[in-house]
């Protein structure tokens, strides 16, 4: 892990195995981008240098679900695409997390028609909902960090039989609306 070089030569580092596992897991949440619409563009912006998802260890987009821990559903899912999404979800190995990014993935958004799934959480478990159309990259980063905090604290919710429950986190918008333009009047009123 490279940590040896930072330590004095004859020192010992003790920790709990679970903490090391959690640390490495949260530092390498590899996303599987399921970008079906405009939210995917914002997802790409998040991964690019301006917002730099690499700062959170989550920049390695894996296009094979078997190598990914985090499914980011970015965009509307048409009814025809839903079986694909479900197959991808099933192919991912535990531990896995699901982010529903944007109004469309979470609720269908404005696309209230026969061909669009009205919220992917009806058909796959969703951990974090990110509101927005599209959400700002900061909000997606916040969603990933919410998952990282859960992993770090070993706080994955389980039911009585030990089965993993969805986290059910909704990220709150992290911006404030600015004042809007008002009519301009010239001269004294």
Residues near another protein (CB under 8 A) = 79-80, 82-83, 86, 89-90, 94, 112-118, 122-125, 163-164, 166
CA gap 107, 88 in Å, rounded: 20
Residues 120-139 that bind ligand SF4 (CB under 6 A): 133-134
Rounded to whole angstroms, the Cα distance separating 84 from 102 reads 19
What is the Cα–Cα distance from 164 to 126, expressed in whole angstroms?
12
| Region near ligand SF4 per CB under 6 A, out of 62-70, 86-94, 99-107, 149-157 | 99-107
177's CB contacts (< 8 A; 6+ apart) are none
Q: Is 119 in the site for ligand SF4 (CB under 6 A)?
A: no
CA distances from 5 to 14, 24, 55, 89 (A): 16, 18, 22, 39
Sole binder of ligand SF4 in the list 38, 61, 81, 82 (CB under 6 A):
38
Residue 132 or 150: which CB sits closer to ligand SF4? 132
Part in contact with ligand SF4 (CB under 6 A); list of ranges 43-51, 60-68, 79-87, 97-105: 97-105
Residue 109's binding partner, choosing from ligand SF4, another protein, none, with beta-carbon cut-off 5 to 8 A by kind?
A: ligand SF4
In DSSP terms, 32 is beta-bridged to: 71
- Is 100:129 a contact under the CB 8 Å cutoff? yes
Q: Does 102 bind ligand SF4 (CB under 6 A)?
A: yes
The answer to the question of residue 33 lying near ligand SF4 (CB under 6 A) is: no
Name 78's bridge partners. Answer: 116
* Phi-psi label, residue 115: left if phi above 0, alpha if psi -120 to 50, beta otherwise: alpha
Tell me which stretch binds ligand SF4 (CB under 6 A): 54-62, 100-108, 117-125, 157-165. 100-108
Least CB distance from residue 83 to ligand SF4, whole Å?
19
């Amino acid at each position: 892990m490279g940590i040896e070089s930072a330590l004095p030569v004859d020192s010992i580092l003790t920790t709990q195995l679970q903490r090391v596992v959690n640390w490495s897991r949260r530092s390498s949440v590899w996303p599987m981008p399921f970008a079906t619409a405009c939210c995917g563009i914002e997802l790409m912006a998040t991964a690019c240098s301006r917002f730099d998802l690499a700062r959170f260890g989550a920049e390695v987009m894996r296009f094979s679900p078997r190598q990914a821990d985090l499914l980011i559903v970015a965009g509307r899912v048409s009814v025809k695409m839903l079986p694909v999404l479900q197959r991808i979800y099933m192919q991912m190995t535990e531990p896995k997390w699901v982010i529903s990014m944007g109004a469309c993935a979470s609720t269908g958004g404005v696309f209230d028609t026969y061909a669009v799934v009205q919220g992917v959480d009806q058909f796959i478990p969703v951990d974090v909902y990110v509101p927005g159309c599209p959400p700002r990259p900061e909000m997606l980063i916040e969603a990933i960090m919410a998952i990282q905090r859960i992993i770090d604290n070993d706080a994955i919710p389980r039911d009585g039989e030990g089965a993993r429950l969805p986290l059910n986190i909704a990220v709150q918008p992290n911006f404030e609306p600015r004042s809007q333009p008002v009519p301009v009047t010239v001269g004294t009123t």
